[in-house]
């Protein structure tokens, strides 16, 4: 508790007053959210705290996160102001407050998690679908993130829509350009594909969108219970955020007996990804231009 709050409490006791502050939904590259097990309530919640005299909401957010977690925040995205009767709160010691909270999100930060100020029992990143029990007001705040567009949205892409097809074409050129550098050749069909050829490919595309941008996509054909992956693409700006893993998980929900996929044998990141996701490497093959392919299969258990 800050000296400012202590002074107010000394004057009014446990009577309710309006407490203005900031909270930050901090995400790691897997889009897991940082939660704090607080010492004052014994419950998990979102890091943040009360504004000091002379601070802006953003100043408060950055100071509180540094003090409570050891993280230095970079770009903050303002989400909303959380206030109203739902944000009235009574602490275990009887103190009452009415919160007015400026809510931010942050994906860009540096530092190591540290419990520095005695307000935390634990600090941990949680998947959004596996959150621990939260208080009602914390749940209300977490729910606001679903309307922000910040979290990945996975949906089917309609190549008949000109803008969606153009997004895929741009994505695959940027993605496969990286692979071309890894395997030492640009003789990769998607790099030379035209808009019309892409629209006529006959594959089903599933995209992963982040803040409205196409961050990654997978294409496939399904015959019977076999899913044949034709393309796996991630925009270079979204590398190492678990995009490909999310797309594979989406495919697995379709239902299958086998999933098959090939990638350049020299594409080490892709090879390691498929091995990590439980794909079994089969015998490598060589295509017409002399490119060695690593072939993988994953069978339904």
CATH number of the domain at 165, please.
3.40.630.30
Q: By CB neighbour count within 10 A (0-12 exposed, 13-18 middle, 19+ buried), where does 34 fall?
A: buried
Mean pLDDT by 10 residues, the chain (301 residues): 80 88 90 89 89 94 94 92 85 87 92 86 91 81 73 92 97 95 88 96 95 94 96 93 90 92 94 95 88 94 75
- Which long-range contacts (C-beta less than 8 Å, at least 24 apart) are formed by 10-16? 14/93, 14/94, 14/95, 14/96, 15/96, 16/88, 16/96, 16/97, 16/98
Q: What is the pTM of this model?
A: 0.67
Taking the C-alpha atoms of residue 123 and residue 257, their distance in angstroms, rounded to an integer, is 40
pLDDT in the model for residue 1: 64
Residues 158 and 140 in one domain: no
DSSP H stretches of helix in 52-101 = 57-69
Residues 72 and 172 in one domain: no
Residues 174 and 142 in one domain: no
**What residues make up the domain containing 120?**
3-147
Residues 50 and 119 in one domain: yes
Task: Give the count of domains, the chain.
Answer: 2
Residues 136 and 212 in one domain: no
Taking the C-alpha atoms of residue 137 and residue 296, their distance in angstroms, rounded to an integer, is 46
Residues 157 and 85 in one domain: no
Domain stop point among 128, 147, 166: 147
Structure tokens at 159: 């190549």
Residues 168 and 96 in one domain: no
Residues 129 and 168 in one domain: no
Domain stop point among 147, 166, 184: 147
* Residues 84-122: tens digit of each pLDDT: 888 888 888 888 888 899 999 998 899 999 988 778 899
Domain stop point among 147, 162, 177: 147
Residues 128 and 205 in one domain: no
Q: Buried (b) or exposed (e) across 239-252, using 16+ Cβ within 10 A?
A: eebbbbebbbebbe
């Amino acid at each position: 508790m800050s000296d400012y709050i202590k002074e107010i409490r000394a004057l009014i006791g446990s009577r309710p007053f309006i407490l203005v502050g900031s909270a930050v939904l901090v995400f790691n590259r897997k889009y897991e959210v940082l939660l704090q097990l607080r010492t004052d309530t014994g419950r998990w919640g979102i890091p943040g705290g009360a504004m000091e005299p002379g601070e802006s909401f953003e100043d408060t957010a950055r100071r509180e996160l540094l003090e409570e977690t050891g993280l230095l925040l970079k770009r903050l995205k303002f989400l909303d102001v959380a206030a109203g009767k739902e944000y009235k709160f009574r602490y275990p010691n009887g103190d009452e407050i009415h919160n007015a909270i400026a809510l931010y999100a942050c994906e860009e930060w540096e530092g190591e998690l540290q419990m520095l100020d005695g307000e935390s029992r634990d600090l941990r990143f949680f998947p959004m679908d596996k959150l621990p029990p939260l208080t009602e007001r914390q749940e209300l705040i977490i729910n606001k993130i679903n309307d922000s567009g910040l979290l990945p949205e996975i949906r089917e892409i309609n190549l008949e829509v000109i803008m969606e097809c153009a997004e895929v074409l741009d994505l695959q050129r940027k993605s496969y350009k990286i692979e071309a550098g890894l395997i030492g050749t640009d003789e990769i069909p998607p790099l030379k594909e035209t808009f019309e050829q892409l629209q006529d490919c006959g594959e089903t595309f599933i995209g992963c969108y982040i803040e409205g941008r196409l961050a990654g996509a997978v294409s496939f054909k399904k015959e019977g219970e076999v899913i044949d992956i034709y393309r796996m693409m991630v925009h270079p700006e979204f590398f190492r955020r678990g995009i490909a893993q999310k797309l594979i998980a989406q495919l697995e929900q379709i239902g299958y007996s086998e999933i098959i996929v090939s990638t350049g044998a020299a594409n080490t990141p892709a090879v390691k990804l498929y091995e990590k996701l439980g794909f079994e490497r089969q015998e490598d093959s060589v295509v017409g231009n002399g490119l060695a392919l690593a072939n993988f299969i994953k069978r339904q258990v």
